[in-house]
Amino acid sequence: MSPLIIVIALLVVGIIVFVVIKSKSGSSPSPSPSPSPSPSPRPKTYKLYEGMDSPGNDIKTITEFPFGLINLDLCKNECEKNPSCMGFDYVKNNDKGYQVKCVLKSKIDRPLKPWVSEGGIVVKE
């Protein structure tokens, strides 16, 4: 094989390599890897302090639900819907004339106060 053919072959290979590299560098950049998903938030837990209250910091008082009687689960669901809710008072019906209700709270002041009604304060923990 003549040296001229070898030189021409090397030039052709060099041009092909150059064109391939150039075409790849002109294309859109490869996408960056997507970040790994953040861990799901810890489920909120609630603790009932029977016969206790945290006066003040009321967001909303709920005395009835259109779809059922007030109970701890319905009050908890209402608290979950409100990002400002840190807990709620839960009042049960009793012979002292208290009406069933839940009072959503933006803050739970400590120490908790004793309360005469049946029910208590439910705190997000």
Which CATH number covers residue 62?
3.50.4.10
Alpha-carbon gap, residue 68 to 57, rounded angstroms: 26
pLDDT confidence of residue 30: 57
pLDDT confidence of residue 112: 80
Name the H helices within the chain. Answer: 3-26, 72-81
Q: How far is CA 123 from CA 37, 42, 83, in A?
A: 29, 16, 14
- Asked if pLDDT for residue 72 goes beyond 60, the answer is yes
- Asked if pLDDT for residue 58 goes beyond 90, the answer is yes
Q: What is the pTM of this model?
A: 0.59
Q: How confident is the model at residue 7 (pLDDT cuts 50, 70, 90)?
A: low
- Asked if pLDDT for residue 21 goes beyond 80, the answer is no
Decide if 106 is inside a domain.
yes
Q: How confident is the model at residue 59 (pLDDT cuts 50, 70, 90)?
A: very high
pLDDT confidence of residue 5: 75
* Total domain count, the chain: 1
Decide if 18 is inside a domain.
no
Decide if 67 is inside a domain.
yes
Decide if 78 is inside a domain.
yes
Amino acid sitting at position 53: D
Q: How confident is the model at residue 35 (pLDDT cuts 50, 70, 90)?
A: low
The CB density around residue 124, as the number of other CB atoms within 10 Å, is: 16
Decide if 4 is inside a domain.
no
Alpha-carbon gap, residue 5 to 12, rounded angstroms: 10
- Asked if pLDDT for residue 125 goes beyond 60, the answer is yes
Domain boundaries, position 111: 46-124
Alpha-carbon gap, residue 102 to 41, rounded angstroms: 26
